[in-house]
Amino acid sequence: MTNLKEALLDDANAFYARNGASLERPDDPILKILSRVHRASPLSNVLEVGCSNGWRLDAIRATYNAQCTGIDASSDAVAVGGDRFPELRLWQGLAPECLEKLLDEPQFDCIILGFFTYLLPRSEIFHLASLTDRLLAEEGHLIVFDFLYPTSIRTNYSHSELLTTFKSDPSAPWTWSPTYTLVERSVYQDDLPESFLKDPKSWGTVDVLKKNAITDAYPELGSVKFPATMAHHPHQ
């Protein structure tokens, strides 16, 4: 295991130790948004990466009768969740490589990326985007919960000398493609202090992206007629 992976795993346990007790919120913005997502596309098979102990997934399971799978880098969080929420499928792993084991399973109609992409090395960000795209069904929704920054910056991570934070538009690895449409962005969340709302450097966001059907993303695909001179590559 590399020093970077060890540092990410250690930080995940430290994050859960610092914040685990305060994560479970009755006014959780993701749960509020999912009520609207469900109206557009019923939730039946949900994956959350960065799920902590699975508390949000259990609420989704109970509300929508959905099958729920969760992955978190914190072994401590997953151990707690395994005891508290036996009806969930939870395991410990680091994204994006942990997603590869799901590629042979049915696609998900909703994937939640829960507040970890800011620590993901930039060399891995498009690997994450590629895997989530393969795992998400057409017409499904991707929820990205992370920092939102007005420019792209790289900074030292205050909790570990071995880690770096990256802040920018957290949905950009998907929205460059017409396959994905940003349908909702929640920055001014109800429980944030006024100082956070006024300072763009403190912003976080819950973004909702819809994965469009290929015929909607590329509506001209079925009607394009190539000239006969282009039918064969000149070097073939």
Q: What is the CATH number of the domain that holds 52?
A: 3.40.50.150
Buried b (16+ CB within 10 A) or exposed e, 164-196: ebbbbbbbebbbeeebbebeeebeebeeeeeeb
Would you call 160 exposed, middle or buried from its count of C-beta atoms within 10 A (0-12, 13-18, 19+)?
middle
Is the pLDDT at 168 greater than 50, yes or no? yes
What digits encode the pLDDT tens for the residues 114-128? 999 999 999 999 999
Mean pLDDT of 2-15: 89
Domain count, the chain: 1
**pLDDT score, position 228:** 56
The answer as to whether 235 is a domain residue is no
The answer as to whether 236 is a domain residue is no
How far is the C-alpha of 77 from the C-alpha of 105, rounded, in Å? Answer: 24
> pLDDT-based confidence at 227, cuts 50/70/90?
low
Range of the domain at 113: 3-230
The answer as to whether 89 is a domain residue is yes
The DSSP H or E segment spanning 200 is: none
**pLDDT score, position 231:** 46
Give 179 or 156, the one with higher predicted confidence.
179
**pLDDT score, position 198:** 80
Mean pLDDT of 14-31: 88
**pLDDT score, position 230:** 45
The answer as to whether 81 is a domain residue is yes
Give 19 or 185, the one with higher predicted confidence.
185
Percent over 70 (pLDDT), the chain: 92
Nearest to 91 by CA among 117, 114, 73, 106: 73
Alpha helix ranges (H) inside 24-74 = 29-40, 55-64
> pLDDT-based confidence at 235, cuts 50/70/90?
low
How far is the C-alpha of 151 from the C-alpha of 157, rounded, in Å? Answer: 18
The answer as to whether 187 is a domain residue is yes
Is the pLDDT at 164 greater than 70, yes or no? yes
Across the chain, mean pLDDT equals 90
∠ Cα 175 111 56 (to 5°): 130
pTM of structure? 0.89
Give 190 or 183, the one with higher predicted confidence.
183
**pLDDT score, position 26:** 81
What digits encode the pLDDT tens for the residues 35-72? 999 999 999 999 999 999 999 999 999 999 999 999 99
The answer as to whether 94 is a domain residue is yes
Is the pLDDT at 225 greater than 80, yes or no? no
The answer as to whether 196 is a domain residue is yes
How far is the C-alpha of 210 from the C-alpha of 182, rounded, in Å? Answer: 7
The answer as to whether 29 is a domain residue is yes
